[in-house]
Amino acid sequence: MNTHNKGISVLVTGGSGFVGVHCLAQLLHQGYTVKTTLRNMDRKQEVLDMLKVAGITPHHHNISFYQCDLMDDRNWREATQGCTYVLHVASPISLAVPKDEDETIRPAVEGTLRVLRIARDAGVKRVVLTSSFAAVGYSHRDVNTPITESCWTDPKDKHLSAYLRSKVLAERAAWDFIKQEGGDLELAAINPMAIFGPTLGRDMSSAFILLKRILDGSLKAIPKITLGIVDVRDVADLHLRAMVHPDANGQRFLALAGGTMTLPEVADLLKRQLGNAAQNVSTRTMPDWVVRVAAWFSAGARNIAPQLGQRKNASNEKARTLLQWKPRNNQEAVLAAAESMVAFDLIA
Protein backbone atom coordinates (compact mmCIF):
# COMPACT_ATOMS: atom_id res chain seq x y z
CA MET A 1 0.00 0.00 0.00
CA ASN A 2 1.25 3.47 -0.94
CA THR A 3 2.07 5.61 2.11
CA HIS A 4 3.08 8.66 0.05
CA ASN A 5 -0.47 10.08 0.30
CA LYS A 6 -0.84 9.54 4.04
CA GLY A 7 -2.47 12.55 5.70
CA ILE A 8 -4.19 13.79 2.53
CA SER A 9 -7.95 13.59 3.07
CA VAL A 10 -10.44 12.90 0.29
CA LEU A 11 -14.23 12.90 0.56
CA VAL A 12 -16.16 10.54 -1.73
CA THR A 13 -19.89 11.24 -1.86
CA GLY A 14 -22.11 8.20 -2.34
CA GLY A 15 -19.61 5.62 -1.13
CA SER A 16 -22.06 2.72 -1.31
CA GLY A 17 -22.59 3.14 -5.07
CA PHE A 18 -20.96 1.12 -7.85
CA VAL A 19 -18.46 3.83 -8.85
CA GLY A 20 -18.17 5.30 -5.35
CA VAL A 21 -16.98 2.12 -3.65
CA HIS A 22 -14.36 1.49 -6.36
CA CYS A 23 -13.10 5.05 -5.80
CA LEU A 24 -12.90 4.32 -2.05
CA ALA A 25 -10.94 1.12 -2.68
CA GLN A 26 -8.39 2.79 -4.97
CA LEU A 27 -7.94 5.76 -2.64
CA LEU A 28 -7.34 3.44 0.33
CA HIS A 29 -4.92 1.32 -1.72
CA GLN A 30 -3.01 4.53 -2.48
CA GLY A 31 -2.78 5.51 1.18
CA TYR A 32 -5.22 8.43 1.35
CA THR A 33 -7.28 9.25 4.43
CA VAL A 34 -10.82 8.74 3.17
CA LYS A 35 -14.22 10.05 4.18
CA THR A 36 -17.47 9.04 2.56
CA THR A 37 -21.14 9.97 2.72
CA LEU A 38 -24.07 7.58 2.95
CA ARG A 39 -27.75 8.46 2.90
CA ASN A 40 -28.41 5.46 5.13
CA MET A 41 -25.81 4.55 7.75
CA ASP A 42 -27.23 1.01 7.84
CA ARG A 43 -25.14 0.45 4.69
CA LYS A 44 -21.82 1.08 6.45
CA GLN A 45 -21.09 -2.62 6.98
CA GLU A 46 -22.06 -3.35 3.39
CA VAL A 47 -19.44 -0.84 2.21
CA LEU A 48 -16.80 -2.38 4.48
CA ASP A 49 -17.68 -5.83 3.11
CA MET A 50 -17.32 -4.57 -0.48
CA LEU A 51 -13.96 -3.02 0.36
CA LYS A 52 -12.85 -6.39 1.73
CA VAL A 53 -13.71 -7.95 -1.66
CA ALA A 54 -11.51 -5.25 -3.23
CA GLY A 55 -8.60 -6.30 -1.02
CA ILE A 56 -8.88 -3.65 1.69
CA THR A 57 -8.27 -5.47 4.98
CA PRO A 58 -9.67 -4.15 8.29
CA HIS A 59 -6.36 -2.70 9.50
CA HIS A 60 -6.21 -0.62 6.29
CA HIS A 61 -9.59 0.99 7.03
CA ASN A 62 -8.47 4.62 7.18
CA ILE A 63 -12.06 5.62 6.45
CA SER A 64 -14.86 7.46 8.23
CA PHE A 65 -18.55 7.67 7.40
CA TYR A 66 -21.01 10.58 7.46
CA GLN A 67 -24.75 10.48 7.02
CA CYS A 68 -25.55 13.08 4.35
CA ASP A 69 -28.39 13.73 1.95
CA LEU A 70 -28.04 15.70 -1.29
CA MET A 71 -31.14 17.71 -0.36
CA ASP A 72 -30.11 18.58 3.21
CA ASP A 73 -27.20 20.65 4.62
CA ARG A 74 -26.77 18.48 7.72
CA ASN A 75 -23.33 16.90 8.28
CA TRP A 76 -21.82 18.11 4.99
CA ARG A 77 -19.53 20.63 6.68
CA GLU A 78 -18.15 17.98 9.03
CA ALA A 79 -17.66 15.61 6.08
CA THR A 80 -15.65 18.13 4.04
CA GLN A 81 -13.64 19.60 6.93
CA GLY A 82 -9.91 19.08 6.39
CA CYS A 83 -10.34 17.57 2.92
CA THR A 84 -8.00 18.48 0.08
CA TYR A 85 -10.18 16.84 -2.56
CA VAL A 86 -13.82 15.83 -3.06
CA LEU A 87 -15.01 13.19 -5.52
CA HIS A 88 -18.69 13.99 -5.99
CA VAL A 89 -19.99 10.64 -7.21
CA ALA A 90 -23.44 10.56 -5.57
CA SER A 91 -26.40 11.17 -7.86
CA PRO A 92 -29.90 9.78 -8.12
CA ILE A 93 -30.15 7.10 -10.84
CA SER A 94 -33.13 5.13 -12.03
CA LEU A 95 -34.25 3.30 -15.15
CA ALA A 96 -37.86 3.96 -14.14
CA VAL A 97 -39.71 6.98 -15.43
CA PRO A 98 -40.63 9.24 -12.47
CA LYS A 99 -44.08 10.79 -12.23
CA ASP A 100 -42.38 14.17 -11.83
CA GLU A 101 -38.99 14.81 -13.50
CA ASP A 102 -38.02 17.08 -10.59
CA GLU A 103 -37.78 13.97 -8.38
CA THR A 104 -34.61 13.13 -10.32
CA ILE A 105 -33.44 16.54 -11.53
CA ARG A 106 -33.63 18.56 -8.31
CA PRO A 107 -31.44 16.26 -6.16
CA ALA A 108 -28.86 16.06 -8.97
CA VAL A 109 -28.64 19.82 -9.54
CA GLU A 110 -29.18 21.07 -6.00
CA GLY A 111 -27.02 18.32 -4.54
CA THR A 112 -24.14 19.19 -6.86
CA LEU A 113 -24.40 22.88 -5.97
CA ARG A 114 -24.60 22.05 -2.26
CA VAL A 115 -21.41 19.97 -2.42
CA LEU A 116 -19.55 22.63 -4.45
CA ARG A 117 -20.61 25.44 -2.12
CA ILE A 118 -19.59 23.59 1.02
CA ALA A 119 -16.33 22.40 -0.58
CA ARG A 120 -15.48 26.01 -1.51
CA ASP A 121 -16.22 27.22 2.02
CA ALA A 122 -14.14 24.39 3.52
CA GLY A 123 -11.07 25.33 1.45
CA VAL A 124 -11.12 22.16 -0.67
CA LYS A 125 -8.62 22.38 -3.53
CA ARG A 126 -10.50 20.46 -6.22
CA VAL A 127 -13.82 18.69 -6.78
CA VAL A 128 -14.04 15.91 -9.36
CA LEU A 129 -17.64 15.59 -10.52
CA THR A 130 -19.02 12.29 -11.80
CA SER A 131 -21.06 13.48 -14.74
CA SER A 132 -22.09 11.28 -17.67
CA PHE A 133 -21.85 10.79 -21.40
CA ALA A 134 -25.49 11.87 -21.18
CA ALA A 135 -24.20 15.43 -20.70
CA VAL A 136 -21.97 15.21 -23.77
CA GLY A 137 -23.19 13.21 -26.74
CA TYR A 138 -26.95 12.69 -26.81
CA SER A 139 -27.62 15.59 -29.18
CA HIS A 140 -24.73 14.74 -31.52
CA ARG A 141 -26.07 13.88 -34.99
CA ASP A 142 -22.95 13.99 -37.19
CA VAL A 143 -21.82 10.34 -37.34
CA ASN A 144 -18.65 11.29 -39.23
CA THR A 145 -17.32 13.55 -36.47
CA PRO A 146 -16.20 11.92 -33.20
CA ILE A 147 -17.89 13.07 -30.02
CA THR A 148 -15.41 14.90 -27.76
CA GLU A 149 -15.49 16.83 -24.51
CA SER A 150 -16.35 20.01 -26.40
CA CYS A 151 -19.81 18.59 -27.21
CA TRP A 152 -22.87 19.17 -25.03
CA THR A 153 -26.24 17.46 -24.95
CA ASP A 154 -29.15 19.87 -25.38
CA PRO A 155 -31.16 19.67 -22.13
CA LYS A 156 -34.28 20.67 -24.09
CA ASP A 157 -34.02 17.57 -26.30
CA LYS A 158 -37.48 15.98 -26.05
CA HIS A 159 -36.04 12.46 -26.28
CA LEU A 160 -34.06 12.76 -23.02
CA SER A 161 -35.24 10.85 -19.96
CA ALA A 162 -35.35 12.63 -16.60
CA TYR A 163 -32.10 10.92 -15.59
CA LEU A 164 -30.26 12.00 -18.76
CA ARG A 165 -31.57 15.55 -18.40
CA SER A 166 -30.49 15.64 -14.75
CA LYS A 167 -26.89 14.83 -15.70
CA VAL A 168 -26.73 17.66 -18.26
CA LEU A 169 -28.31 20.20 -15.96
CA ALA A 170 -26.18 19.19 -12.96
CA GLU A 171 -22.91 19.50 -14.88
CA ARG A 172 -23.97 22.79 -16.47
CA ALA A 173 -24.85 24.13 -13.03
CA ALA A 174 -21.45 23.01 -11.69
CA TRP A 175 -19.46 24.87 -14.35
CA ASP A 176 -21.65 27.97 -13.96
CA PHE A 177 -21.07 27.90 -10.19
CA ILE A 178 -17.28 27.66 -10.60
CA LYS A 179 -17.29 30.54 -13.06
CA GLN A 180 -19.54 32.84 -11.03
CA GLU A 181 -18.86 32.06 -7.37
CA GLY A 182 -16.33 29.23 -7.12
CA GLY A 183 -13.54 31.36 -5.70
CA ASP A 184 -10.33 29.30 -5.60
CA LEU A 185 -12.17 25.97 -5.92
CA GLU A 186 -11.08 23.86 -8.90
CA LEU A 187 -13.35 21.50 -10.85
CA ALA A 188 -12.92 18.57 -13.23
CA ALA A 189 -15.68 16.36 -14.64
CA ILE A 190 -15.67 12.70 -15.63
CA ASN A 191 -18.20 11.66 -18.30
CA PRO A 192 -18.46 7.85 -18.47
CA MET A 193 -20.34 5.84 -21.04
CA ALA A 194 -22.00 2.54 -20.00
CA ILE A 195 -20.15 1.33 -16.90
CA PHE A 196 -19.44 -2.40 -16.56
CA GLY A 197 -16.59 -4.18 -14.76
CA PRO A 198 -16.77 -6.14 -11.47
CA THR A 199 -19.36 -5.46 -8.83
CA LEU A 200 -18.06 -5.75 -5.27
CA GLY A 201 -21.46 -6.60 -3.79
CA ARG A 202 -25.03 -7.61 -4.52
CA ASP A 203 -26.36 -4.13 -5.32
CA MET A 204 -26.84 -3.85 -9.09
CA SER A 205 -26.25 -0.71 -11.17
CA SER A 206 -28.38 0.07 -14.22
CA ALA A 207 -25.93 -1.60 -16.62
CA PHE A 208 -26.04 -4.77 -14.50
CA ILE A 209 -29.83 -4.88 -14.63
CA LEU A 210 -29.56 -4.93 -18.42
CA LEU A 211 -26.92 -7.68 -18.27
CA LYS A 212 -29.10 -9.68 -15.87
CA ARG A 213 -32.02 -9.55 -18.33
CA ILE A 214 -29.73 -10.88 -21.06
CA LEU A 215 -28.19 -13.59 -18.85
CA ASP A 216 -31.38 -14.89 -17.25
CA GLY A 217 -33.13 -15.09 -20.63
CA SER A 218 -35.91 -12.63 -19.78
CA LEU A 219 -34.80 -10.59 -22.82
CA LYS A 220 -35.99 -13.03 -25.50
CA ALA A 221 -34.63 -10.89 -28.32
CA ILE A 222 -31.85 -8.31 -28.12
CA PRO A 223 -32.45 -4.73 -29.32
CA LYS A 224 -29.84 -3.35 -31.71
CA ILE A 225 -28.54 -0.68 -29.35
CA THR A 226 -24.91 0.46 -29.64
CA LEU A 227 -22.96 1.05 -26.43
CA GLY A 228 -19.78 2.83 -25.54
CA ILE A 229 -18.38 0.87 -22.60
CA VAL A 230 -15.95 1.47 -19.76
CA ASP A 231 -14.77 -0.64 -16.82
CA VAL A 232 -15.67 0.73 -13.38
CA ARG A 233 -12.07 0.23 -12.23
CA ASP A 234 -10.92 2.54 -15.02
CA VAL A 235 -13.63 5.09 -14.16
CA ALA A 236 -12.33 5.20 -10.57
CA ASP A 237 -8.74 5.44 -11.82
CA LEU A 238 -9.69 8.37 -14.05
CA HIS A 239 -11.29 10.16 -11.09
CA LEU A 240 -8.05 9.84 -9.12
CA ARG A 241 -5.94 11.03 -12.06
CA ALA A 242 -8.21 14.05 -12.61
CA MET A 243 -8.07 14.75 -8.87
CA VAL A 244 -4.31 15.34 -8.74
CA HIS A 245 -3.10 16.23 -12.24
CA PRO A 246 -2.40 19.99 -12.48
CA ASP A 247 -3.72 20.20 -16.06
CA ALA A 248 -7.05 18.51 -15.23
CA ASN A 249 -8.44 21.65 -13.60
CA GLY A 250 -11.34 23.07 -15.63
CA GLN A 251 -11.49 20.00 -17.89
CA ARG A 252 -14.02 17.33 -18.81
CA PHE A 253 -12.91 13.76 -19.60
CA LEU A 254 -14.88 11.21 -21.58
CA ALA A 255 -14.50 7.75 -20.04
CA LEU A 256 -14.79 4.90 -22.53
CA ALA A 257 -12.64 1.95 -23.48
CA GLY A 258 -12.69 2.89 -27.16
CA GLY A 259 -14.92 1.73 -29.99
CA THR A 260 -18.42 0.41 -29.39
CA MET A 261 -20.33 -2.84 -28.87
CA THR A 262 -23.90 -3.56 -29.83
CA LEU A 263 -26.14 -5.41 -27.38
CA PRO A 264 -26.30 -8.40 -29.77
CA GLU A 265 -22.47 -8.46 -29.70
CA VAL A 266 -22.58 -8.37 -25.89
CA ALA A 267 -25.02 -11.32 -25.89
CA ASP A 268 -22.82 -13.25 -28.31
CA LEU A 269 -19.71 -12.62 -26.15
CA LEU A 270 -21.49 -13.88 -23.04
CA LYS A 271 -22.79 -16.96 -24.89
CA ARG A 272 -19.27 -17.83 -26.09
CA GLN A 273 -17.33 -17.11 -22.88
CA LEU A 274 -19.54 -17.84 -19.87
CA GLY A 275 -20.43 -21.49 -20.38
CA ASN A 276 -23.39 -22.75 -18.33
CA ALA A 277 -23.97 -19.31 -16.79
CA ALA A 278 -25.01 -18.10 -20.25
CA GLN A 279 -27.22 -21.03 -21.22
CA ASN A 280 -30.35 -18.82 -21.21
CA VAL A 281 -28.83 -16.01 -23.29
CA SER A 282 -30.77 -15.32 -26.49
CA THR A 283 -28.84 -14.37 -29.61
CA ARG A 284 -31.99 -13.38 -31.54
CA THR A 285 -32.10 -9.71 -32.45
CA MET A 286 -35.17 -7.55 -31.96
CA PRO A 287 -36.30 -5.55 -35.00
CA ASP A 288 -36.20 -1.80 -34.41
CA TRP A 289 -39.89 -1.45 -35.21
CA VAL A 290 -40.77 -3.80 -32.34
CA VAL A 291 -38.89 -1.57 -29.88
CA ARG A 292 -40.64 1.52 -31.24
CA VAL A 293 -44.09 -0.08 -30.95
CA ALA A 294 -43.25 -1.30 -27.42
CA ALA A 295 -42.28 2.27 -26.49
CA TRP A 296 -45.97 3.20 -26.64
CA PHE A 297 -46.70 0.80 -23.77
CA SER A 298 -43.43 0.24 -21.87
CA ALA A 299 -41.36 2.81 -19.97
CA GLY A 300 -38.27 0.62 -20.40
CA ALA A 301 -38.70 0.50 -24.19
CA ARG A 302 -39.43 4.23 -24.22
CA ASN A 303 -36.04 4.87 -22.58
CA ILE A 304 -34.07 2.90 -25.18
CA ALA A 305 -36.04 3.64 -28.37
CA PRO A 306 -34.29 7.00 -29.03
CA GLN A 307 -30.94 5.15 -29.01
CA LEU A 308 -31.82 2.95 -31.98
CA GLY A 309 -29.49 3.74 -34.88
CA GLN A 310 -27.26 5.98 -32.73
CA ARG A 311 -23.55 5.09 -33.17
CA LYS A 312 -22.08 7.13 -30.29
CA ASN A 313 -18.72 7.53 -32.01
CA ALA A 314 -16.84 9.04 -29.05
CA SER A 315 -13.14 9.66 -28.40
CA ASN A 316 -11.12 8.95 -25.24
CA GLU A 317 -8.00 10.64 -26.61
CA LYS A 318 -8.03 13.51 -24.12
CA ALA A 319 -7.94 11.26 -21.05
CA ARG A 320 -5.31 9.01 -22.62
CA THR A 321 -2.97 11.80 -23.68
CA LEU A 322 -3.40 14.38 -20.91
CA LEU A 323 -3.74 11.97 -17.96
CA GLN A 324 -1.94 8.90 -19.40
CA TRP A 325 -5.11 6.89 -18.77
CA LYS A 326 -5.02 3.29 -20.07
CA PRO A 327 -8.48 1.68 -19.96
CA ARG A 328 -9.30 -2.00 -20.30
CA ASN A 329 -11.09 -3.09 -23.47
CA ASN A 330 -14.85 -3.50 -23.90
CA GLN A 331 -14.83 -7.28 -23.77
CA GLU A 332 -12.86 -7.39 -20.51
CA ALA A 333 -15.25 -4.90 -18.89
CA VAL A 334 -18.37 -6.85 -19.92
CA LEU A 335 -16.97 -10.24 -18.91
CA ALA A 336 -15.74 -8.92 -15.54
CA ALA A 337 -19.25 -7.65 -14.84
CA ALA A 338 -20.89 -10.93 -15.82
CA GLU A 339 -18.39 -13.06 -13.90
CA SER A 340 -18.88 -11.00 -10.75
CA MET A 341 -22.66 -11.40 -11.12
CA VAL A 342 -22.18 -15.17 -11.28
CA ALA A 343 -19.93 -15.03 -8.19
CA PHE A 344 -22.59 -13.10 -6.22
CA ASP A 345 -25.40 -15.34 -7.55
CA LEU A 346 -27.21 -12.37 -9.11
CA ILE A 347 -28.41 -14.02 -12.30
CA ALA A 348 -31.13 -16.41 -11.11
CATH number for the domain that contains residue 31? 3.40.50.720
Burial of 69 (0-12, 13-18, 19+ CB in 10 A): middle
Structural domain contains residue 218: no
* Confidence at residue 96, expressed as pLDDT on a 0 to 100 scale: 55
Residue among 150, 155, 114, 121 at smallest CA distance from 138: 155
Identify whether the C-beta of residue 20 lies closer than 8 Å to the C-beta of residue 253.
no
Query: Average pLDDT in the 35-52 region?
Result: 96
Q: Are strands 252-255 and 186-192 parallel, antiparallel or unpaired?
A: parallel
Q: What is the pLDDT of residues 171-212, one digit of tens each?
A: 999 999 999 999 999 999 999 999 999 999 998 888 898 899
What pLDDT sits at residue 291? 46
The arithmetic mean of pLDDT across residues 228-232, rounded, is 96
Report which of residues 68 and 218 the model is more confident about: 68
pLDDT tens sequence across 275-319: 999 999 998 877 655 545 555 555 565 555 556 556 678 999 999
Could you confirm whether 224 is annotated as catalytic?
no
Q: Residue 85: inside a domain, yes or no? A: yes
- The verdict on residue 307 lying in a domain is no
Number of domains in the chain: 1
The answer as to whether 286 is a domain residue is no
Mean pLDDT (the chain, rounded): 89
Q: What is the pLDDT of residues 73-85, one digit of tens each?
A: 999 999 999 999 9
**pLDDT 10s digits, 327-337:** 999 999 999 99
In a domain, 281, yes or no: no
pTM above 0.75, yes or no: yes
3-state secondary structure 239-293: HHHHHHCHHHCCCEEEECCCCCEEHHHHHHHHHHHCHHHHCCCCCCEECHHHHHH
Instruction: State how far the Cα of 129 lies from the Cα of 136, in Å rounded to an integer.
Output: 14
Residue 194 included in any domain: yes
* 279 domain-assigned: no
In a domain, 320, yes or no: yes
Catalytic annotation, pick one of 35, 52, 99, 167 = 167
What is the C-alpha to C-alpha distance for residues 230 and 162, in angstroms, rounded to an integer? 23
Q: Whole-angstrom distance between the N-terminal and C-terminal Cα of the chain?
A: 37
CA 205 – CA 36 distance, rounded (Å): 19
Q: What is the pLDDT of residue 157?
A: 86
**Which residue range is the domain that position 250 belongs to?**
9-203+228-257+313-329
